[in-house]
């Protein structure tokens, strides 16, 4: 059965009205509702269901008439592309459907890249999760309810500093126990630092299953009209979910080429066919697919594509510039973002901070990084953005002729038109039709590929890559993170400390070498998470101490590696991605790492790059590095003389919270430890992190004992954590009288709520018609029939019932019932037949199936003369006079 015509779904985002702008509190969405609205209030509240969905499905309520599907149930139906009809069919046999109703429900189609039956973790049924868009200074309250029957989770607010709010950071087994199945929890976040941030699961591999979304804090000048600022959440994507990826675990097979693990799902590959970049392998998994805002189109090795759903945006025609609030929320592979027409893009911000605008033709994202990207229409009516996995096909050597294999990409169109009003943005979902490669391929416009892009370039032109983890990429100009400058003229908020202090001598230097020498590790040590969160600080009984015995075991160095600094110390972290160069398999260990620090932003001091051959392939370590600490390079030594020559005292280096460390190179960052807590530091490539590439940074506060001076109450439970054993100590400045008054007001309010609830139950039982299951049949948003709680028309029916009792008997007798008793009996007799007999009947016609008649019969006892009024889409108590 056909589901939709060519255009799937249209959704508009408008400037908030004046009432919402001045309100002190906004509830953006309830459980199961979409959360598409930006919040302009001082307090923004969200209610999120965390639940599974399967791809290539259609979600609906009240569907399946004359089947065993109960009216009002929520269900997903598998759908697939019908090449003959050029449309979608419901796969399940025996289901009849009301076609116009399904068209109205088209926004409930759930596609990612067109690969079916892939399990996804969603928020209120949507992937990625809602874009949280709030104003600076807002308090954000997010109630989460887990419907995951076999997993627990936590949410980390990536990029938000969480000052004096450590326990809400969301690091599982650091600041909280994860939220267990069918439990609820409330996060309270202060949106103190502006910019493009995001949130994601911080447990296991769940982020790879879709549990993530954008978190954007608007500066005052952005709050009036942000219709041209588009959340742009990118992720590399895999056919199989995290359970399969974890079971496959290519790292546990050692580093012997990795050929014992041949891939996932639709793509299987040996190591030489996996994704490489400049001779370094970017992932031990096979290259698969890529999504933007949950949409893409999978292509197989033969360059054939399946049916999927794409996304486009339409802005008012007067729009001159579009800004992408871009996030790499993915798994392992760097992503390149560019324009399809090779015109420039401009990087204007990163990791929440504004920077001096820098022009380029493509920007490389490490996993976890955020960038603000602006681009001009320049008289055009459309900009096509291309996001693609930053891999050079399948093979670690690319010759000088740029013979690059096709690589996964996704196209997003941003148009301008006279249709949207000023301050409005329209989002369309459009079909991406399947196509197959042929001897003389003719690919659709949306199949623009990187090989086409390279072929159309003039290699003598000043083509520039931004945020390069290399100082040269295949002959093109590279702008590294050290070439960016923050802009003091446009920065509107203070940093965590004075950036000028980074030029002082650091109090502490921490050296971290991230590699796969002994599994996924830092300094040759795999991180062992504590047995319970750090509610009572660091105690040996709650962690796995890094004892001499463990550190002496080269085969299994697994412990809780912790670095301790004191509050307000200036800390320098040296992060390297060094490996040994002992044999021909060594390049299979070289890779890039995206390093992230919770609770802080740091200032980049220096970036070191690997040595390259004449073709741009990596051949060795940066000159400032040498391996040490035993076999397979668990640690490195730095040549201080080289570092001293390279060090530039630049007061305008950018602030970051996540940095892409070059393969066989290093990054040096500094920050002042002003935010006490025990913070995770880790590689943001998901499998690297989950397998042990992490450490803990303990920032001690000996004066005020933060964050332990405000311990949480009634957090999620795990291990032997008992919430009753922890309580928030009372501060000396606390107003006990105010506390007393507040406590009694809350108690009195609770009594009032209970009393009103009893009154409601009494009124409902004594005065209201008793509908089945307490529901009424009423319109849903958009005009479709559906289920709506009966209480929404409570007062209307109370008044109507009282009025009816006062009417004379003659008035009822003057109105003929719409449906007679005989007609209802005939209908009930038909209902007694089995569903399958009715469907199989040669005379059965779904078009003549009358749900309205059934509804009127079902409630005939409550309203003897009632009927369903199709014109008004509501239930009428009496038949109109003839």
Give the DSSP letter of residue 243.
Answer: H
Task: State how far the Cα of 515 lies from the Cα of 683, in Å rounded to an integer.
Answer: 10
Do 391 and 361 lie in one domain? The reply is: yes
pLDDT band at 99 (very low <50, low <70, confident <90, very high): very low
Q: What local confidence, expressed as pLDDT, does residue 849 receive?
A: 44
3 state SS of 587: helix
Do residues 331 and 235 touch, judged by C-beta distance below 8 A? yes
Give the DSSP letter of residue 38.
Answer: P
CB atoms < 10 A from the CB of 89, how many?
Answer: 15
Reading the block at residue 44, the tokens are: 């923004």
pLDDT band at 589 (very low <50, low <70, confident <90, very high): confident
Do residues 207 and 200 touch, judged by C-beta distance below 8 A? yes
Summarize pLDDT for 470-483 with one digit per residue, the tens.
887 777 889 999 99
Do 329 and 466 lie in one domain? The reply is: yes
Residue 516 lies in a domain: yes
Task: State how far the Cα of 48 lies from the Cα of 305, in Å rounded to an integer.
Answer: 34
Domain-ending residue, one of 483, 512, 544: 483
Summarize pLDDT for 376-429 with one digit per residue, the tens.
999 999 999 999 998 875 444 444 444 445 678 999 999 999 887 887 888 888
Give the DSSP letter of residue 455.
Answer: H
Residue 405 lies in a domain: yes
Q: What local confidence, expressed as pLDDT, does residue 502 receive?
A: 74
Residue 488 lies in a domain: no
Residue 265 lies in a domain: no
Do 124 and 189 lie in one domain? The reply is: yes
pLDDT band at 248 (very low <50, low <70, confident <90, very high): confident
Q: What local confidence, expressed as pLDDT, does residue 827 receive?
A: 43
Task: State how far the Cα of 408 lies from the Cα of 428, in Å rounded to an integer.
Answer: 22
pLDDT at residue 774 tops 60: no
CA distances (Å), origin 856, targets 773, 776, 821, 876: 16, 11, 11, 9
Do residues 353 and 491 touch, judged by C-beta distance below 8 A? yes
499-525: average pLDDT: 88
Give the DSSP letter of residue 437.
Answer: -
3 state SS of 726: coil
Query: Is the model more confident about 586 or about 778?
Result: 586
Q: Most confidently modeled of 80-84, 246-250, 544-548, 579-583? A: 544-548
pLDDT at residue 844 tops 70: no
Residue 263 lies in a domain: no
Do 783 and 761 lie in one domain? The reply is: no
625-636: average pLDDT: 88
Task: State how far the Cα of 178 lies from the Cα of 529, in Å rounded to an integer.
Answer: 13
Residue 553 lies in a domain: yes
Q: What local confidence, expressed as pLDDT, does residue 587 receive?
A: 73
3-state SS track over 562-596: EEEEECCCEEEEEEECCCCCCCCCHHHCCCCEEEE
Summarize pLDDT for 735-767 with one digit per residue, the tens.
434 444 444 455 566 667 667 767 666 555 554
pLDDT at residue 651 tops 50: yes
DSSP string, 797-843: HHHHHHHHHHS-HHHHHTS--SS-HHHHHHHHHHHHS-HHHHHH-TT
Q: What local confidence, expressed as pLDDT, does residue 830 receive?
A: 44
Domain-ending residue, one of 430, 450, 483: 483
CATH number for the domain spanning 177: value is: 2.60.40.420
Query: Is the model more confident about 16 or about 295?
Result: 295
Q: What local confidence, expressed as pLDDT, does residue 432 receive?
A: 84
Rg of the chain over all Cα atoms, to the nearest angstrom:
30
pLDDT at residue 45 tops 90: yes
Do 645 and 520 lie in one domain? The reply is: yes
Query: Is the model more confident about 307 or about 583?
Result: 307
Q: Look-up: residue for tokens 């992230």?
A: 596
Do 628 and 650 lie in one domain? The reply is: yes
Lowest mean pLDDT among 414-428, 433-447, 826-840: 826-840
Q: Most confidently modeled of 97-111, 393-407, 853-867? A: 97-111
pLDDT band at 124 (very low <50, low <70, confident <90, very high): very high
pLDDT band at 44 (very low <50, low <70, confident <90, very high): very high
pLDDT band at 95 (very low <50, low <70, confident <90, very high): low
Q: What local confidence, expressed as pLDDT, does residue 34 receive?
A: 87
Do residues 387 and 379 touch, judged by C-beta distance below 8 A? no
Do 565 and 468 lie in one domain? The reply is: no
Range of the domain at 755: 730-765
Predicted TM-score (pTM) of this structure: 0.78
Do 661 and 735 lie in one domain? The reply is: no
CATH number for the domain spanning 343: value is: 2.60.40
Do 591 and 709 lie in one domain? The reply is: yes
* Percentage of residues of the chain with pLDDT beyond 90: 42
pLDDT at residue 690 tops 60: yes
Do 460 and 508 lie in one domain? The reply is: no
Summarize pLDDT for 125-175 with one digit per residue, the tens.
999 999 999 999 999 999 999 999 889 999 999 999 999 999 999 999 999
Summarize pLDDT for 448-461 with one digit per residue, the tens.
344 455 445 554 45
CA distances (Å), origin 571, targets 521, 597, 625, 672, 673: 22, 13, 20, 6, 7
Q: What local confidence, expressed as pLDDT, does residue 9 receive?
A: 52
pLDDT at residue 873 tops 70: no
Query: Is the model more confident about 447 or about 226?
Result: 226
> Taking Cα atoms as reference points, which of 604, 602, 592, 594 lies closest to residue 646?
604
Task: Report the mean per-residue pLDDT for the chain.
Answer: 76
Q: Which residues contact 513 (CB under 8 A, 6 or more apart)?
A: 522, 523, 524, 576, 577, 578, 633, 634, 635, 636
Please count the structural domains in the chain.
5
pLDDT band at 571 (very low <50, low <70, confident <90, very high): very high
340-358: average pLDDT: 94
Count how many residues are written for the chain.
882
Q: What local confidence, expressed as pLDDT, does residue 278 receive?
A: 80
In sequence order, the β-bridge partners of residue 47 are: 143
Task: State how far the Cα of 555 lies from the Cα of 570, in Å rounded to an integer.
Answer: 35
Query: Is the model more confident about 166 or about 516?
Result: 166
Residue 267 lies in a domain: no
pLDDT band at 808 (very low <50, low <70, confident <90, very high): very low
Do 693 and 734 lie in one domain? The reply is: no
Do residues 533 and 176 touch, judged by C-beta distance below 8 A? yes
Torsion angles phi and psi, residue 22, rounded to 5: -100, -5
Beta-strand pair 280-281/370-376:
unpaired
Residue 315 lies in a domain: yes
Do 640 and 755 lie in one domain? The reply is: no
pLDDT at residue 817 tops 70: no
Give the DSSP letter of residue 645.
Answer: H
Do residues 427 and 313 touch, judged by C-beta distance below 8 A? yes
Lowest mean pLDDT among 574-583, 624-633, 739-748, 814-823: 814-823
Domain-ending residue, one of 222, 254, 278: 222
């Amino acid at each position: 059965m056909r589901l939709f015509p060519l255009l799937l779904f249209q959704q508009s985002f408008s400037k908030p009205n004046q009432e919402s702008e001045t309100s002190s509190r906004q509830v953006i969405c309830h459980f199961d509702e979409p959360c598409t609205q930006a919040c302009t209030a001082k307090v923004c509240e969200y209610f999120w269901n965390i639940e599974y969905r399967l791809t290539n499905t259609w979600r609906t309520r009240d569907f399946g008439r004359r089947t065993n599907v109960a009216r009002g149930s929520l269900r997903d139906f598998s759908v697939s592309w019908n090449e003959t009809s050029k449309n979608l069919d419901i796969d399940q046999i025996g289901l009849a459907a009301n076609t116009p109703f399904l068209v109205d429900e088209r926004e409930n189609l759930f596609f990612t890249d067109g690969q079916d039956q892939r399990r996804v973790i969603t928020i209120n049924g949507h992937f990625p999760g809602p874009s949280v868009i709030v104003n600076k200074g807002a308090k954000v309250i997010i109630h989460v309810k887990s419907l995951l029957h076999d997993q627990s989770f936590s949410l980390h607010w990536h990029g938000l500093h969480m000052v004096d709010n450590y326990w809400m950071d969301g690091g599982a087994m650091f600041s909280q126990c994860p939220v267990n199945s069918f439990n609820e929890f409330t996060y309270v976040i202060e949106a103190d630092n502006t910019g493009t941030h995001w949130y994601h699961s911080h447990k296991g591999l769940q982020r790879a299953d879709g549990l993530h979304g954008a978190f954007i804090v608007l500066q005052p000048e952005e709050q009036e009209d942000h219709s041209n600022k588009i959340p742009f959440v990118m992720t590399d994507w895999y056919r199989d979910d995290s359970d399969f990826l974890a079971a496959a675990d290519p790292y546990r097979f050692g580093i012997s080429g990795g050929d014992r693990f041949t891939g996932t799902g639709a793509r299987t590959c040996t190591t030489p066919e996996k994704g490489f970049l400049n001779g370094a392998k970017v992932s031990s998994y096979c290259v698969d697919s890529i999504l933007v805002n949950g949409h893409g189109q999978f292509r197989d090795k033969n360059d054939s594509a399946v049916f999927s759903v794409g996304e486009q945006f339409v802005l008012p025609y007067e729009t001159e510039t579009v800004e992408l609030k871009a996030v790499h929320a993915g798994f392992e592979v760097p992503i390149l973002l560019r324009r399809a027409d090779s015109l420039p893009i401009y990087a204007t911000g990163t990791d929440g901070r504004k920077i001096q605008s820098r022009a380029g033709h493509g920007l490389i994202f490490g996993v976890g990084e955020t960038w603000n990207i602006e681009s001009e229409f320049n008289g055009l009516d459309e900009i096509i953005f291309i996001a693609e996995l930053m891999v050079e096909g399948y093979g670690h050597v690319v010759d000088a002729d740029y013979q690059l294999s096709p690589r996964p990409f996704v196209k997003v169109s941003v148009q301008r038109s006279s249709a949207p009003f000023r301050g409005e943005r329209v989002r369309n979902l459009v079909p991406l039709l399947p196509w197959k490669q042929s001897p003389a391929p003719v690919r659709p416009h949306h199949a623009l590929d990187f090989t086409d892009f390279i072929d159309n370039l003039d290699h003598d032109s000043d083509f520039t890559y931004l945020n390069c983890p290399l100082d040269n990429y295949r002959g093109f100009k590279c702008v590294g993170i050290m070439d960016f400058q923050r802009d003091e003229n446009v920065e509107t908020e203070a940093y965590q400390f004075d950036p000028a202090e980074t030029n002082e001598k650091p109090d502490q230097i921490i050296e971290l070498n991230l590699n796969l020498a002994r599994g996924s590790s830092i300094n040759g040590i795999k991180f062992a998470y504590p047995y319970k969160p750090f509610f009572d600080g660091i105690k040996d009984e709650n962690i796995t101490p890094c004892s001499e015995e463990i550190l002496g075991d080269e085969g299994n160095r697994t412990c809780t590696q912790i670095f301790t600094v004191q509050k307000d110390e200036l800390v320098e972290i040296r992060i390297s991605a060094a490996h040994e160069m002992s044999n021909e398999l060594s390049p299979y260990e070289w890779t890039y790492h995206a390093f992230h620090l919770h609770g802080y932003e740091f200032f980049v001091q220096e970036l070191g790059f690997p040595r390259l051959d004449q073709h741009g392939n990596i051949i060795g370590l940066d000159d400032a590095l040498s391996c040490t600490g035993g076999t397979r390079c668990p640690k490195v030594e730095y040549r201080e003389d080289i570092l001293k020559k390279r060090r530039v005292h630049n007061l305008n280096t950018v602030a970051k919270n996540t940095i892409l460390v070059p393969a066989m190179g290093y990054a040096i960052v500094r920050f002042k430890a002003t935010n006490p807590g025990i913070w995770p530091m880790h590689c943001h490539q998901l499998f690297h992190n989950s397998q042990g590439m992490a450490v803990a940074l303990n920032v001690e506060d000996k004066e005020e004992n933060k964050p332990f001076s405000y311990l949480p109450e009634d957090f999620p439970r795990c291990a032997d954590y008992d919430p009753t054993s922890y309580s928030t100590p009372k501060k000396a400045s606390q107003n006990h009288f105010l506390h007393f008054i507040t406590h009694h007001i809350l108690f009195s309010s609770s009594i009032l709520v209970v009393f009103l609830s009893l009154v409601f139950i009494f009124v409902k039982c004594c005065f209201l018609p008793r509908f089945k299951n307490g529901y009424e049949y009423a319109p849903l948003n958009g005009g479709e029939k559906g289920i709506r709680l009966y209480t929404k028309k409570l007062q209307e029916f109370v008044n109507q019932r009282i009025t009816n009792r006062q009417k004379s008997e003659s008035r009822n007798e003057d109105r003929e019932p719409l449906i007679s008793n005989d007609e209802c009996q005939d209908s009930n007799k038909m209902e007694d037949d089995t569903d399958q007999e009715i469907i199989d009947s040669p005379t059965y016609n779904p078009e003549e199936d009358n749900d309205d008649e059934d509804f009127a019969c079902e409630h005939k006892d409550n309203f003897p003369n009632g009927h369903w009024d199709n014109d008004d889409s509501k239930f009428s108590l009496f038949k109109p006079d003839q």
